[in-house]
Amino acid sequence: MRSSLSTVLTGGLIIQGVTASWLLPEARNFIYIVPDGYGQASQTMARDYVSLLQNGENPRAPVSIQLAADRMVIGNVRTQASDNLITDSAAAATAFGCGVKTYNNAIAVDDDGSPVGSILEAAKLKGFKTGLVVTSTINHATPACYAAHVKDRNSYEKIAEHEIGYSHPLGPVVDILMGGGRCYFKPQSDPTSCRSDDIDLFGFAKEKGYRVLQDRVGFDGLNKGLSKTGDLPYIGLFNDDQMMYEIDRSRQPEQEPSLLEMVETALNSLDRATKWSLKGYFLMIEASRIDHAGHANDPAAHLHDTIMYNDVMGFVRDWIDKHPDTLMMSAADHECGGLTLNGFNPIPLKDVSMSIEQVGRLWDAYNGTDRRAYLIETILPGYGLTGLSNAEIDMVLENDNVGGDLTRLLSSKAGVNWSTGGHTASDVTLYGYGNGWRGGNLKSDMAGNHDNSELPAYIEGVLKVKLSDATRELKRHGIDWVGKRDVTSPDHIHSH
C-alpha cells in the first residue's frame, strides 16, 4: 500500500522539505553499511585497479567492469552538519543513525546536548536483535552514535560504557559488538588498559551474559556464527586500537579477522537468533579505515579497504538473495581526502605490501645504525617505491617525515591526488539492495538526492519502529547520564 508523507518525523523532530511517496516494503531485517570517508573517486580507483589487474594491466587499453557496489547505486546523499558545511563522522552518524542534525563532535545528542534515540535503540525496544561490526575502535564516532549518547566524540571511556550497557539508561542494547578498542573495556589496573578508572567493562559484559572474545582464536571459536558458540550476545574486540588496514591484515590473517569474516559471522548469529521470531535484526557495518587512509593520504591502504567494502557489499547482496526478508542501504558519512585521479594509473599500487601506518611502526622501531640502508632495503620496497633517486632518498632522510614524504611520492607515481588531509563537503553515493519486489520498492522509494538525516526514517517505516519512542525512553531518565562536552576538543579535522 502506498503511503504519502509530506513530512518525515524522526526522533520527535520534523525534517523540513521532504516530500515522499514511499512504498515502504516491510522487512524483518535491515542492514546499513557505512564506508567511512569514501567518495566516488574511491570507488573509481578500486574499480580501475581491479579491472586492470584482470585485463592486461594496460591503462591505455582499459576494460570497464563493475564492482559489487556499482550494481547497487540508487542516488546520492547530502552530508553537512548543523554547524558546518563539512561534517565529521559524529554529526553524520547522528543524522543517519538518529535522524537529527547536530554539531560536529556530537554523539547521538541534538544541538542542545539532549539525547536522541537511534534506529538501533528503536529496533531493540521493539524486540529486534542488533549488531555493530566495524574496523575502527568500537567506541569510535560512527558505531557510538547507535548505542551511546555523549556531547563530545572524544569521551571514549563513557562511550564504551554506554555501548555495553554499563551506564546506558536502557541497559545493553547491542547483541553483537565487533571491532577494535579492546583497551577501553579493561580496568586501569590492567597494563594494556587505556582507561583512567577501575571500571571493568569486559567483566560487566560477562555478568550480563556476553561471550567476550579478545583475539583471533576467540573469533574462530564462534565457528562463523553457525554453532552454539556463536549464540548471542557476544563482544569481540581484536585490537587495543583500530583494527589493521586490510593491506596489512591480509598478510597476517592469523592476527585479526577481516571485515568480511566478521560480517559473515554476525549475520549467521543474528539469523539463527531470530529464525523463529516475528522480529528480525538491525545490523550496522562500517568499513571504517577507508577514512583513516584518506586522512593519511595513503592511496594503497585506501584502495584495499575500498576493495574490502565492495567484497562485503557483494556478500550482503548474496545473503539477501538467500534471505529475501532483508533490505540493505549503504552510504558514506562523508568523503575524506579530496581524492582526484588526474594523470591516473593505479598499477604502481600493486607493488605496495604495507600501509603507511605499518611503515611508521617499522621506521619508529628501527634501532640500527644505518637508517639509509634500512630505508632502501626494507621501507621503500614495502611501500612500492623502489628506484627512488639518491636526491629523493636524501630528501626523505633529511625531512624526517617518512609518512608525509612517502605517501606524496607514491600518490604522484600512481596519479592519485589529495586536496586535504581532512573531510570534504562532497555528496556521497547512496546504495541499496533488496530481493525481488522489495528491492524494486526500495529503488523506487530512495532514488534521487537525500539529506543524510532522512535515511533512518525509511528504516523506521520498513521495520515498523519509531525513533521517537527511543528518544522518549532515553529522556525519561533525565540527561545527567549523558557524557559531557569538552570545549577544548578538536573539531571535524581530526586524526581519525
Residues 36-56: tens digit of each pLDDT: 999 999 999 999 999 999 999
Q: Is the peptide bond before 233 cis (omega within 30 degrees of 0)?
A: yes
The length of the chain, given as a count of residues = 496
* Alpha carbon distance 327, 461 (integer Å): 12
* Alpha carbon distance 190, 198 (integer Å): 9
Position 487 pLDDT exceeds 70: no
Residue 346 and residue 49 in contact, taking contact as beta carbons nearer than 8 Å? yes
* Alpha carbon distance 266, 19 (integer Å): 35
Residue 483 and residue 156 in contact, taking contact as beta carbons nearer than 8 Å? no
pLDDT digits (tens, 9 = 90+) for 137-148: 999 999 999 999
The residue whose grid cell reads 564516532 is 141
Give mean pLDDT, residues 259-285. 97
pLDDT digits (tens, 9 = 90+) for 105-141: 999 999 999 999 999 999 999 999 999 999 999 999 9
pLDDT of residue 24: 87
Measure CA of the first residue to CA of the last residue in the chain; give whole Å: 44
| DSSP helix/strand/coil, 188 | coil
Look at 446 and 15; give whichever has higher pLDDT.
446
* Alpha carbon distance 247, 265 (integer Å): 21
Q: Which three cell numbers stand for residue 197?
A: 578508572
Using alpha carbons, list the distances in angstroms from residue 117 to 50, 141, 200, 249: 40, 15, 26, 35
Give mean pLDDT, residues 417-445. 97
* Alpha carbon distance 274, 175 (integer Å): 12
pLDDT of residue 425: 98
DSSP 8-state symbol, 485: P
User: What does the mean pLDDT of the chain come to?
Assistant: 93
Give mean pLDDT, residues 234-240. 98
Give mean pLDDT, residues 245-258. 98
Give mean pLDDT, residues 474-495. 69
pLDDT digits (tens, 9 = 90+) for 378-405: 999 999 999 999 999 999 999 999 999 9
* Half-sphere exposure in the Cβ direction for 92 (13 Å, CA): 29
Q: Is 369 exposed, middle or buried (0-12, 13-18, 19+ CB in 10 A)?
A: exposed
pLDDT digits (tens, 9 = 90+) for 177-216: 999 999 999 999 999 999 999 999 999 999 999 999 999 9
pLDDT of residue 21: 64
Read off φ and ψ for residue 35, nearest 5 degrees.
Answer: -90, 90
pLDDT of residue 3: 34
> Which amino acid is located at 165 in the chain?
G
pLDDT digits (tens, 9 = 90+) for 275-306: 999 999 999 999 999 999 999 999 999 999 99
* Alpha carbon distance 82, 84 (integer Å): 6
Using alpha carbons, list the distances in angstroms from residue 471 to 37, 280, 375: 28, 21, 54
pLDDT digits (tens, 9 = 90+) for 96-108: 999 999 999 999 9
- Looking at the annotation, which residues are catalytic? 89
Q: What is the pTM of this model?
A: 0.94
pLDDT of residue 406: 98
Residue 445 and residue 32 in contact, taking contact as beta carbons nearer than 8 Å? no
Residue 232 and residue 269 in contact, taking contact as beta carbons nearer than 8 Å? yes
The Cα angle at residue 269 between residues 263 and 273, in degrees rounded to 5: 145
pLDDT of residue 12: 34
